Structure 1
């Protein structure tokens, strides 16, 4: 394990501890719907992230679903859900244990934080409209999150000397052009379907804000 990987693991442990300090565990224990949502989200992430692809010899890529997730179950439970899914993949050998800290920071925490930051900004600064919610909180962050993850991992691969920058550009970053729009559609459609059929499942969506014209 390199120095960067070790530092990433330590930072991940510290951040998880800080986030875990304010987890609404009692609420989860008393609310079966929340239990089902967190469990189903974790299993869904695990299954989705198992489907990986990439150019031979280059880092693998997969869809994230990390702009819809924090909107559905909230920031803290989204972090927990992604961590559990990542740990399961690592135990099974699908992800490298040396990369655990890097994968968590770049592939879990950063995308979730970006999505929730955009949601918070739009909620407080823009008109509360259902189309604003779908496109600015789910669709656009979907594209941004996968781009952010791939950029962060590219920087790590280069700084740690694993690949040359030209190799990263040709064999890894180029894949982002193929993933950005599908990732945006995947997250946007997820939120659209949920707020139509199961709005009470979406933690950040409230009828009184987005549908009641008097609010």
Structure 2
């Protein structure tokens, strides 16, 4: 998937991204089961391990153009394991540490938070709710729909969101976006789905009680 690494966002875009990200982040902090975390060492280890895994995953990236980098995201599996609230909190901490370590622009932090954290967490939450209500309770249905398919869908939506953000803010012309980013979107759908699907299948097979969704 692609993410932003630019300080060229307009003031209006920065304001909107900051307001949305801060609002949802505070809501996630409020909803998170802090008492359970305090008393449950396994959940503490899960949160810590997931945060470290995201830091490592997001640190392996390639810059494909000015203001654009590509890396896998892994948020679908994290959302299914930790739940939407803890996934947002832990991923936000990971994003802050990656931004600090890589020297990326803090002006795009909230934009990346909305696009690479809030968007996939929301899509995963909705997909899991639909599967739970509409489809049979089956291991493979949950794995392929919530894991593989949903992760690929998230990769596509993230790429489109980054493309629209770059275009609306006049950072790149649409021709450049089509040539560089649209191709990347197609190439990242399957790897993103495979990564989340493999991780989720291992968790479901050996540690099914780890999954909160």
Normalised by the length of structure 2, the TM-score is 0.92
Within a 5 Å distance, the mapping from 1:131-170 to structure 2 comes to 131-170=140-179
Q: Which residue of 2 aligns with 1:200?
A: 209
Moved over 4 A (4+): none
Within a 5 Å distance, the mapping from 1:25-174 to structure 2 comes to 25-57=34-66, 59-174=68-183
Once the two structures are superposed, what CA deviation does each residue of 1:115-142 show, in whole Å capped at 9, x if it has no partner? 1110011101111111110001100011
Alpha-carbon distance between aligned partners in 2 of 1:106 and 1:15, rounded to the nearest angstrom = 13
Number of matched pairs: 204
Alpha-carbon distance between aligned partners in 1 of 2:50 and 2:40, rounded to the nearest angstrom = 16
Alpha-carbon distance between aligned partners in 1 of 2:16 and 2:66, rounded to the nearest angstrom = 26
Q: Report the 3-state secondary structure (helix = DSSP H, G, I; strand = E; otherwise coil) of the residue aligned with 1:128.
A: coil
180-189 or 169-178, which moves further after superposition? Answer: 169-178
Alpha-carbon distance between aligned partners in 2 of 1:72 and 1:17, rounded to the nearest angstrom = 20
Task: Determine if the alignment matches structure 1 residue 184 to structure 2 residue 193.
Answer: yes
| Unmatched 5+ stretches in structure 1 | 205-215
RMSD: 1.3
| Unmatched 5+ stretches in structure 2 | 1-8
Higher relative CO (Cα under 8 Å, sequence separation at least 6) belongs to 2
Q: 8 Å contact 1:58–1:172 — kept in the other structure?
A: no
Once the two structures are superposed, what CA deviation does each residue of 1:99-158 show, in whole Å capped at 9, x if it has no partner? 011100011100111011100111011111111100011000110111111111110100
Larger Rg: 1
Normalized per residue, the structure richer in strand is: 2
